[in-house]
Amino acid sequence: MRVTKSFLSAFLAFALLFGLLSCDLSSLTSNDQGANGFTPTVYTEVVKELFETTYADQLSPNERAIYDAVTLLPAGTTSVDVTIPETPALCQGRNPSDEEMDKLKADISRFTANALYAAWLDFPTLFWLDHSKYSYNMEVAGDDDGVVKLTKLTLNLSLTASAGEIASQTEALARAVAGFTPLGTTVAEKVAYINTYLTSRIEYDLDAPNRSGVIGALVDGKCVCEGYARAFDYLCEKAGIDAVCIPGYGITEDKPEGEGHMWNAVALDGKRYGVDVTWNDTTWENAYLLVGADTVCHDTAFGTSHKPSMLTLEGPHKSFAFPAIEKLGYGINP
């Protein structure tokens, strides 16, 4: 006995839309829970208050399975089959109820949204993936004991450009960073070199076609804060430096309510410090380089002007923990 269900979940501000294509569970007629004492699946939940090494550290086993499948894909891939370890089981000896199917859809949507969000933050090379839009096909079947389970999950990905354009962009990115090695004998010197390397080559441009990623920053030389931060993360990664992207709000005198922004945290000697390449380039030259939360730039502490947040995203996301930076800047003793 086999049933195939296909669901579409399009996330624009992460609102869910599902469409049922087919359903046939006619061979399950009993309304009993089953003689074997069926128990619905209980998933492992992962909630961490502190950031560890990557955003992936905060994912549950099912979310991590989706994350791993997506982050290993060649650029421009449009679909992938995912095997999740904690397989959803809906019921036994009967048709799943509408409520049970709705819960399954909500579960898969939550797993996928969290996995793609973490991948979006951890991997600047996923410039080709629109993490906010996806669809998936699910196959649900009853086993020999009549337990109805999710048996197959195919994730269909949304691309930021055509497959041909993505191939060209991937090649251009490889050429742009070929042989890149930051100068300096210490990690701090290399971080400063990467910052200057980017600020000397990038023009802040709200209208740039690839403004939100490494292609805009490293290939086109035009991007916005997200492109700066992702390029910094990418070049640090290539140099073996532990850097992380942080999304949130930048608060200035002109924008006291804050506006969407992205910056970085860099690990040095087991501690993390703030770097904002965008503001180093566009506002105050190199003022935001290896700073602490209490570092005052332009009359405002970094921890006040930079507020980590999941921005205005709504939907099935968990609340991710963000990297905490030191109070004092690098090299400053209390």
Residue 8 pLDDT > 90: no
**Side chain identity at residue 211, one-letter code:** R
Tokens of 261: 């922004």
Per-residue pLDDT of 273-311, as tens digits, reads 999 999 999 876 788 999 999 999 988 999 999 999 986
Q: At residue 32, does pLDDT exceed 50?
A: no
Instruction: Give the model's pLDDT for residue 317.
Output: 75
Q: Are 90 and 96 in contact (CB under 8 A)?
A: yes
pLDDT over 60 at 160, yes or no: yes
Lowest mean pLDDT: which of 9-13, 53-57, 77-81, 235-239? 9-13
DSSP 208: -
Q: Convert the pLDDT of each residue in 267-281 to its tens digit.
A: 999 999 999 999 999
The predicted structure's pLDDT at residue 54 = 96
Are 3 and 23 spatial neighbours (Cβ–Cβ below 8 Å)? yes
Please list, in sequence order, all residues whose beta carbon lies within 8 angstroms of the beta carbon of residue 18, skipping any fewer than 6 positions away: 7, 8, 9, 105
Q: Say how far apart CA 42 and CA 89 lie, in whole Å.
A: 9
Taking the C-alpha atoms of residue 136 and residue 114, their distance in angstroms, rounded to an integer, is 15
Q: Please state, in angstroms and rounded to a whole number, the distance separating the CA atoms of residues 185 and 290.
A: 16
Tokens for 309, please give them.
């947040």
Q: What is the pLDDT of residue 154?
A: 97
Backbone angles phi, psi at 245, to 5 degrees: -85, 140
